[in-house]
Amino acid sequence: MIRPTRSLTYILIGTLLLTVLGCASSPSSRFYVLSPLSGSAPEGKPSASDRCVSIGIGPIEIPDYLDRPQIVTHVTPNEIKLAEFERWAEPFKDSFMRVLAQNLSSLVCTKEISFFPWRREIPMDYRVEMKIIRFDGNPGGKVILETWWRLLSGDGKTMLQSKRSNFSEPVGGGDYKSLVLAHSNALGALSREIAETITTLQKK
């Protein structure tokens, strides 16, 4: 006859082994960040004759379904999937704003770029406000970035441009690394569009 204390010991050992094996077999999370445009692109270098400007970025609104650490993919037009082990390394909104600022600073001659909310006394030439409608895709498919954005004067009193933009970037592979790269390319395309608008206004 097995004593109760010995039975309890066997149960505890078995539970511990199952826990260890479960942890050993669980996949580890991978973390990703958006990347800025390459500085080697000829269109990414501002002309020496361009007047350097100060730009304010924000506020930028993102949909709730993107405001999470997991990378979101579209299964069907009405269904999304959260990748539990494929995650953003920083809040998605922060990553978007940071890379947008890096892109604009390489595409436009900038003196300073500020993020909303900013101090009232900071002088600015332009403000970029945006509402992201969609920004997702699928490995092996494409990434879609759809936004409403507007460009305002530095004091925020004059609307200079208001536009709805839609970009589609192919995903070069079936993995999440390729998916994130396509996200970066789509954001790069949006950055170029905003930069071209600023450059055109400067020449008027």
Check whether 144 has a pLDDT greater than 90: yes
What's residue 48's pLDDT? Answer: 52
CA gap 65, 135 in Å, rounded: 10
pTM of this prediction exceeds 0.85: no
- Rounded alpha-carbon distances, angstroms, from residue 39 to 68, 104, 107, 178, 190: 30, 11, 9, 20, 16
Please write the tens of the pLDDT for every residue from 66-115: 999 999 998 888 899 999 999 999 999 999 999 999 999 999 999 999 99
User: Can you list the domains of the chain with their CATH numbers?
Assistant: 4-202 (3.40.50.10610)
Residue 179 neighbours by CB distance under 10 Å: 26
Q: What is the pLDDT of residues 174-195, one digit of tens each?
A: 999 999 999 999 999 999 999 9
pLDDT at 204: 75
What six digits make up the tokens of 50? 């361009």
pLDDT, tens digit (0-9, with 9 covering 90-100), for 4-31:
555 655 555 656 555 544 555 568 999 9
> Is 80 exceeded by the pLDDT of residue 202?
yes
